[in-house]
Chain A
Amino acid sequence: MSGSANSVYDWQQIEIFTRQILGKKAFRDVYTLWQEDSGCQSGNGTKQPLRLYIVNDRACPGVSPAAGSSVKSVKLCKRSVVPDYPKNTITGTKKTRITHRYTLVLLLEYENSEFNVITLPRQLSAPGSYQEGSTMAFCGLISPDGQKPVLQRMNYSNCSEKLTIIPEGNGFSAFEYMMAFPLNVFEPAISPVELENPGLQSTILLSNLRYESDIVEPALMPAGEGRSVWTTAVDLMLYEDIMIKLGVDQDIVVQGLSEL
């Protein structure tokens, strides 16, 4: 720009459309797959890895079942996020809640060098509710009758987290992770006036997904009708970074010169 162009008499009124970030918050290393420590389902316990009991290769339910071949390793192949998720909701108690639904595809390697691919939670069942042709693993996120999810909760001073699985037909379609926190956690804090803005928008970014899987031990699990089946206990945990931003569209009028 030339020196003479700096004169105020040459300035024009320029209208700019942009999005103003009112507040944002980044959560690092959030466990999005976990369960409460056993015997403590009050929300005041600690997060533990999700304990899966994966049915061994060539293991069948029976009164004196064959052990089959136990699981040697578990690898996460894919994490699919359900369409329209994650989503953000403002609660009546002036909190913001992030809801995230997903499914997992795991690659299993057995001691006999066989491989298998399973999809969770679709192929999950409650212990004692083995379903021929569909059950590939058991876990404690499903009630013993095999019909209802068991809600996992974590409560902190002003934040809370929940994990459950979503029923669909006779099975389960997705894991649902929820995190709720007050609006003053945003940086900067969101004011009540800003919260009432009819043009308020949000965006959520999930990044840096990681997981831990540990082979624990062989386990004989009840399969129902007096039978049992040999499984391998595996601890699985997912971590990721979650960032949320709240903002509004702005039309800004400035005085200046356009380079065009």
Chain B
Amino acid sequence: MKGFPCPDIDTGWKPVIHEDGQIAPTDGPSIQCGLDVGSHTGHGTLMADVQTREILRILREIQHEMVSIKQMLKGMEVSCPEAKGRKLRPRKKRLIKKLATWGEVDHVRIG
């Protein structure tokens, strides 16, 4: 086998071509747009297909939003315990002192 000094060939990113010759559009139409066209032209199947794709796209966006929010909440949980500790401990200590003074409790669990 002989090597051959040939540069690599990279097509770059291109929209996928479907066998029916339809090139997937880079920006899909909105749901509203799809419904309007469908009601006027009567191409029910085609429009339903467009709408389904659009709904799937929106569902994916919602899913990504949820993942993003989950990650944000996780980040907040990580950074919050320090703040809680600072605020709650003095209160608890004061409460324990007061309860001990009044003699209402023998033992207070600090949790």
User: Residues of A at under 8 Å CB distance from B?
Assistant: 6-8, 11, 19, 75-76, 78-79, 81, 86-92, 193, 196-213, 239, 246-247, 249-250, 252-255
Contacts and interface: CB of A to CB of B under 8 A. Distances in A.
B16 interface: yes
A200 B17 contact: no
Contacts of A198: 24-28, 53, 57
Contacts of A75: 2
Contacts of B65: 253
Contacts of B14: 87-88, 201-203
B64 interface: yes
A21 to B, nearest CB: 11
Contacts of B24: 197-201
Contacts, number: 112
Contacts of A193: 56
Interface of B is mostly: mixed
B4 A210 contact: yes
Interface of B: 1-4, 6, 8-20, 24-28, 52-53, 56-57, 64-65, 68, 71-72, 75-76, 79-80
Contacts of A90: 16-19
25 contacts: A7-B79, A8-B76, A11-B75, A81-B9, A87-B14, A88-B16, A89-B17, A92-B19, A196-B53, A197-B56, A197-B57, A198-B57, A199-B26, A199-B27, A201-B13, A201-B16, A203-B11, A205-B10, A206-B9, A207-B9, A209-B6, A210-B3, A212-B1, A255-B68, A255-B75
B9 A199 contact: no
B12 to A, nearest CB: 6
B17 to A, nearest CB: 5
